[in-house]
Structure 1
Amino acid sequence: MTEKINSFPQVLTIAGTDSGGGAGIMADLKTFQMQKVFGTAVVVAVTAQNTLGVQKSFLLPLEMIDAQFASLAEDFHIRACKTGMLGDAAHVHQVALNLQKYDFGPITIDPVMVAKGGAPLLSQDAVATVKNELLPLADLITPNLPEAETLTGIKVQDQSQYPKLAHKLQDIGVKNVLIKGGHASSEQVKDYALFADGSDLWVSSSRIHTERTHGTGDTLAAAITAQLALGQSLPSAIKIAKKYVTKTIKETIQVGHGHGPLNHWAQ
């Protein structure tokens, strides 16, 4: 009976809220819904945020982080999970402890460091904690170029260096790496995946010139997480997620005055 009750694919996002609805847990839950999985959440931080930027943020008490993890573990069968905004070293550490305590399936780490509008979402002292405690737990890490450069210390001149970044992240302890190329200046947005078995994959799309890209990284990682919960292989999950995100940018909606949100309804 228990297995029948929990037979529907369930996933988890561990991140911060976005009161503007475009990024963070809000984007993750919208993405989960569109990917036809049931989404749950551990709220690490609450932000006062809109398309113009982050005005204020508040990190939840550590005991509340623990309580949310315990509550989910008691009742749900989480098949895959992802992280987003984790705030500071203490919260990264607490999340890492809980991910070791509970089996919530493959773990995708989106090492969120800076909001689209430029506000810091991870303290400087937390970068070492992410590298030492969180990345070794990850089945997949999905950094954008600035995040990958911060984690590896390697400055990228062009796309030919993506494999170098990915190998360096594997040396740190991550099994699989997806370098997101959206911050590059090329007209073809190329993402590079390096897998645990040494194989690799390039996925690309034509650049869409728009400011309505708020929550792109969250949405991509959430879509990958959903596809893994549905039983897709990691390469297939990445390809499906990339196509979905491209459509959410292309089929734009007009919301807000700044870096607008994606269209999560895109089919």
Structure 2
Amino acid sequence: MTATPPIALTIAGSDSGGGAGIQADLKTFQAFGCFGTSAITAITVQNTLGVSGVHSIPVDTVQAQIRAVADDLPPAACKTGMLATSELVRAVAESIRVNRLPNFVLDPVMVASSGDRLLDEDAQRTIVEHLLPLAALVTPNLDEAALLVGFPVDDPEAMRRAAVRLVELGAKAALLKGGHLRSEELVDLLWDGREWREWRRPRLDTRSTHGTGCTLSAGIAAGLAHGRPLDRAVEDALDFVQRAMQSAPGLGAGHGPLNHLVPGPA
């Protein structure tokens, strides 16, 4: 008999280019052996060159999607991506509380790889006030971390201070992603309020970076859905993203997608 897969839920925007957002999350859930479900928060008009349009889904429809999944296909873990507006952030936070969604991974999507802004400025504070205290893990890149904590985050020492601050603000743990460091070596730092974990790897010379944050947070959520410890879930997801970048298919003229067909963790 085939074992019943754990269910994971992504609450995020749709990427018409297929490399990020809902599309990347569902591909990653599949690679990690999870059954993927979704609540779409926005429809974006985008490709590897950038975002040319965003259409937000009505808030009550987003909440109804989450409720429909929770009622019939209760997820063992969930993640959020693009939430766009303060109203939607509040609504999603309420849905996570009301439906008691476990193992919530908060990917605070604010800016696309192309530089296009994907979050209203006034929604930043709403994320800190309403979503961060619900998160088992928050996974900002350096730019997102700086927006959330209110000070520049551009080196490993600042990353540590930001991680500590994010946990003080309510997250159970913070993973600071070092992809934007100005160095040949990338550093990713995990702080769970008690212990530090650090991963170092060489920088890859590639334009295929579209969807890395979505893929990483989805991989972590999938690991948590399987019942793995947080540090193992993070390590597996980091490894998956690295291999997916190394074997990227080179599609598109801009920031291309990863190869989500690489094997997930055993």
TM-score, with normalisation over the residues of structure 1? 0.96
- RMSD (CA atoms): 1.5
Distance in 2 separating the partners of 1:161 and 1:57: 33
**C-alpha displacement at 1:7, in angstroms?**
4.3
2:190 paired with 1:193? yes
Q: Could you list the runs of 4 or more consecutive aligned residues of structure 1 that deviate by over 4 angstroms after TM superposition? A: none
**C-alpha displacement at 1:47, in angstroms?**
0.4
Alignment-derived partner of residue 38 in structure 1: 35
Q: Do the aligned residues in 1 keep the contact of 2:84 with 2:119 (CA within 8 Å)?
A: yes
Q: Do the aligned residues in 2 keep the contact of 1:92 with 1:126 (CA within 8 Å)?
A: yes
Distance in 1 separating the partners of 2:63 and 2:171: 24
Structure 1 unpaired stretches of 5+: 1-5
Instruction: Give the counterpart of 1:167 among 164, 167, 170.
Output: 164
Instruction: Give the counterpart of 2:59 among 51, 59, 62.
Output: 62
Cα deviation digits, residues 32-87 of structure 1 (max 9, x gap): 11111000000010001100000100011111012101211221121000000000
**Change in CA separation of 1:157 and 1:227 when aligned onto 2, cut-off 3 Å:** closer
2:86 paired with 1:92? no
Indicate the SS of the match to 1:81.
strand
Q: How does 1:135-214 map to 2 (within 5 A)?
A: 135-196=132-193, 198-214=194-210
Alignment-derived partner of residue 26 in structure 1: 23
**C-alpha displacement at 1:105, in angstroms?**
1.5
Distance in 1 separating the partners of 2:210 and 2:244: 11
**Change in CA separation of 1:9 and 1:16 when aligned onto 2, cut-off 3 Å:** same
Alignment-derived partner of residue 47 in structure 2: 50
Distance in 1 separating the partners of 2:111 and 2:30: 25
- 1:153 partner amino acid: G
Instruction: Give the counterpart of 1:243 among 228, 239, 244.
Output: 239
- 2:210 partner amino acid: H
Q: Do the aligned residues in 2 keep the contact of 1:205 with 1:246 (CA within 8 Å)?
A: no
Distance in 2 separating the partners of 1:77 and 1:93: 21
Structure 2 unpaired stretches of 5+: none
Q: Do the aligned residues in 1 keep the contact of 2:7 with 2:225 (CA within 8 Å)?
A: yes
Q: Do the aligned residues in 2 keep the contact of 1:213 with 1:259 (CA within 8 Å)?
A: yes
Q: Do the aligned residues in 2 keep the contact of 1:13 with 1:42 (CA within 8 Å)?
A: yes
**C-alpha displacement at 1:159, in angstroms?**
1.3
Distance in 1 separating the partners of 2:120 and 2:204: 31
Q: Identity rate of aligned residues, in percent?
A: 44
- 1:89 partner amino acid: S
Alignment-derived partner of residue 69 in structure 2: 72
Alignment-derived partner of residue 219 in structure 2: 223
Alignment-derived partner of residue 258 in structure 1: 254
TM-score, with normalisation over the residues of structure 2? 0.96
- 2:261 partner amino acid: W
Distance in 1 separating the partners of 2:174 and 2:153: 16
Indicate the SS of the match to 2:15.
coil
Distance in 2 separating the partners of 1:76 and 1:58: 27
**C-alpha displacement at 1:203, in angstroms?**
1.1
**C-alpha displacement at 1:187, in angstroms?**
1.1
**C-alpha displacement at 1:156, in angstroms?**
2.7
Indicate the SS of the match to 1:78.
coil
Q: Between Structure 1 and Structure 2, how many residues are aligned? A: 263
